[in-house]
Amino acid sequence: MTVRVRFAPSPTGFLHIGSARTALFNYLFAKHNNGKYLLRIEDTDRERSTPEAVEAIFKSLEWLGIKADEEPIFQFSRYQRHAEVAHELLKAGKAYYCYCSPEELQTMREEAAANGKPPRYNGMWRDRDASTAPSGVKPVIRFKSPQDDSLTINDRVQGEVTVKNNQLDDMVLLRADGTPTYMLSVVVDDHDMGITHIIRGDDHLTNAFRQHHIYKALAWDVPEFAHIPLIHGADGAKLSKRHGATSADVYKDLGYLAEAMKNYLLRLGWGHGDDEIISESQAIEWFTLESIGRSPARFDMVKLNNLNGHYIRQSDNQRLLELSLPIIEEMLKKTLSLHEKNSILKGMNGLKERAKTLLELADSALIYIRTFSHDEKSQALLTPENIDLLKKLVKKLSITEFSENTLEDCLRNFAEVEQTKLGQVAAPLRVAITGRTVSPSLFEVMAILGKEESLSRIERVVV
């Protein structure tokens, strides 16, 4: 058997972090088993589905590198096939027409609530002769769900889960206007796509029992189910906007690397011993459904930032320049010159050591572009005494070779002559050179900027 899995988002908004993780788990499971990972856009909600949301989902998946092995399928385009299957069930006596009015359905819900039961359809037309149907009423088609015994599903994540069949009412398969419902469409599409394993959030666990019965009624093979616990915020509540960004594409805009995001999503509810830094090749080799936990994972921004910082430090400098360049140019509202780009590239080793995101990296890279101004904290270091020190230092630096080692020796000798500490000289010099109190190695920065630019920056402060 060739493993075939699918990720099936609804294009009613951006790709949620939880959905991105579901896509990743499906992708890794398929690759681990030399199978196929497919993408299906469940766009049957025509009022809420938008082309913009579809495009956003595609872009987020592309950013994460989660590529489908076949062309995406759009569920709405298959509605005639779904309706055809509903009529097959009707013909086989496994579904029936229901002529209940909205008022009758509302009465059923109210009576159930009054008796402390969940609102549900009471089977009013299940065994009624269609000849008694009211005229002029367009019926829905309902599934004749088994009412006796119980159903046990051996979920690959949740274990054995049992539900009594009488807890499931006769769901609508086809609406009065002839459009299929989600429950029917999903089963038909999964069957026709040859899906062998359904990996999705555990908020769909109840649906699995309803869908299992439809499979059996059609004499189709039932896929294996694996329902993943949802992602919670740091406070233990279901992840929502109040916890911060929940859309995958936002994290790209916030300066997170795709490989860091994938690594972090992988570790949300799945583990391989104490391993934290996991490459995609390792994830494919190690991934199994049995290693997914049954408890909700908690989204932790501190861990994500630390992980992203690790991947930034490990990244190629040219790539980091290319990724941060649009951010820098947007900050400055200008196109950088080749000289400015080269300066940033030369300083990338020092810049990336402290950066947790590309936004931080881009901001720190501004020290190589002469556009900064001094904030209150850095301005406080430019005291009259420190200005005098810098005036003396300019003369010393003007006859010094601008290499890192030579610059460090020069400053140490200068501090000794002035009978002060190296830090007392370096602090105001850093402010003069970078406009900041914190930066990569001052000597590295000065060597990259060169003598002319470095002295010019100091003189701008001391005049």
- Side-chain-side CA neighbours of residue 382 (13 Å): 23
Residue 241 bears catalytic tag: yes
CB 268 within 8 A of CB 239: no
CB 369 within 8 A of CB 327: no
- Residue 293's beta-bridge partner residues? none
- Among the listed residues 241, 252, 334, 396, the single catalytic one is 241
**How many of the other CB atoms lie within 10 Å of CB of 406?**
13
Q: Cα–Cα distance between 132 and 77 in angstroms, integer?
A: 35
- Side-chain-side CA neighbours of residue 341 (13 Å): 16
> Which active-site residues does the annotation give?
241
